[in-house]
Structure 1
């Protein structure tokens, strides 16, 4: 069965060309309006979302935020003509998995879709994978960090990053190792994406002085946990 994509793009010519290529591999549900797309997301099941930023009624950033409130796991890819670094970072902070700048390569888009679809397919498990880090309890299967009865919901990428840090606790992780493990590539923009996610984890852990994510200049990062 083909995976189902929510594709939101108000440029009809670009949408036709992109959807025509994607439909060779996926079921594509196309909308030109952010509000209508969100209404569909609330009632239908999608495996991945491909969103333009400049949309009528509800722009791509607003749409991504609304989608994340309902579903923290579904992969989101932005396709946008907005090239400013601030726009890319904003998209990632909202929980997007990637941000491609127009004009983009269909081959690259399909490659990224495949990577995110494969990573979002959680395998069933019969064991409890919950672990403790400082005063927090981490549930990687449900992308959740809990402390004193309060739960912080992570995105799938944030959860994967934290799991990698915990598996290598008190050990330096090179930037390229993290990027390759989580994004499948080691390039500048993915590095900026990683920095955004690490910043958010640091803000969550600031309440616990026994946990810190150290920046190792020109090398990488280290999760330090005092037992």
Structure 2
């Protein structure tokens, strides 16, 4: 990163917050720390950030609410939850909002760094890809997270967009489930696997408007986006 990536960090554990700031800044990032949810979202509105790291349980405004407000203003900025909440429902709620990763405390700092770099790398590749992709009667615009059919537009979440892009780039060919999980989540654990199921179900619902399009499940292997 030639110019410093500016990270918004919202974490109410003061010790952890300071340690993360020190670690991330030593790795070339510009980090602004806030320990209150309302302070965090106000900072986002008042400045420009490239990346957001949010705790979930925060005073003032919880991380889920912050992420929802961020997504209303910016559909593409990477958001990572860093939280002690381990329930499947909490993880699914986060991914349904459109966050890019959900990391459970305690965590390894080097793993966090690798995940941040992987997300930034995907976003850089994504921002360079300006192509639209024709899928049956749909026009898929991954740059703007848009799926259009007959002038009707659907704005996708970042994760929906990334999953559909992987399938669309290999249209009518098998995309392995493990490849999707490792590429987009960095892990193929149970919770991420169930999250992928949620996104596949949503994409199937969106694509139902063209009955020539389907996402075929190849059990225990992966998916084929069929465009007949």
Partner residue in 1 for 2:140 = 138
Deviation by residue 1:22-73 (Cα, 9 ceiling, x = unmatched): 1212111111121221122122111110000011221100111111111111
Distance 1:61 1:135, change over 3 A: same
Deviation by residue 1:133-185 (Cα, 9 ceiling, x = unmatched): 12221112222111232322223332222122112222222212223343444
> CA–CA distance in 1 between the matches of 2:49 and 2:130?
27
TM-score under structure 2 length normalisation: 0.90
> CA–CA distance in 1 between the matches of 2:88 and 2:56?
14
Counterpart among 50, 55, 72 of residue 52 in structure 1: 55
CA RMSD, aligned part only? 2.0
Uncovered stretches (5+) of structure 1, i.e. residues with no partner: none
1:112 Cα shift?
0.6
Answer whether contact 2:218 2:224 (CA < 8 A) is retained.
yes
> CA–CA distance in 2 between the matches of 1:71 and 1:162?
20
Distance 1:123 1:68, change over 3 A: closer
1:123 Cα shift?
6.9
The number of aligned residues is 225
> CA–CA distance in 2 between the matches of 1:185 and 1:82?
18
Uncovered stretches (5+) of structure 2, i.e. residues with no partner: none
TM-score under structure 1 length normalisation: 0.90
Distance 1:211 1:5, change over 3 A: same
1:175 matches 2:172:
no
> CA–CA distance in 2 between the matches of 1:49 and 1:18?
13
SS at match of 2:7: strand
SS at match of 2:86: coil
> CA–CA distance in 2 between the matches of 1:15 and 1:105?
14
> CA–CA distance in 2 between the matches of 1:181 and 1:24?
26
Partner residue in 1 for 2:74 = 71
1:96 matches 2:76:
no
Answer whether contact 1:47 1:117 (CA < 8 A) is retained.
no
Q: Which has the higher mean CA deviation after the structures are superposed, 21-30 or 206-215? A: 206-215
Distance 1:98 1:153, change over 3 A: same
1:205 Cα shift?
1.4
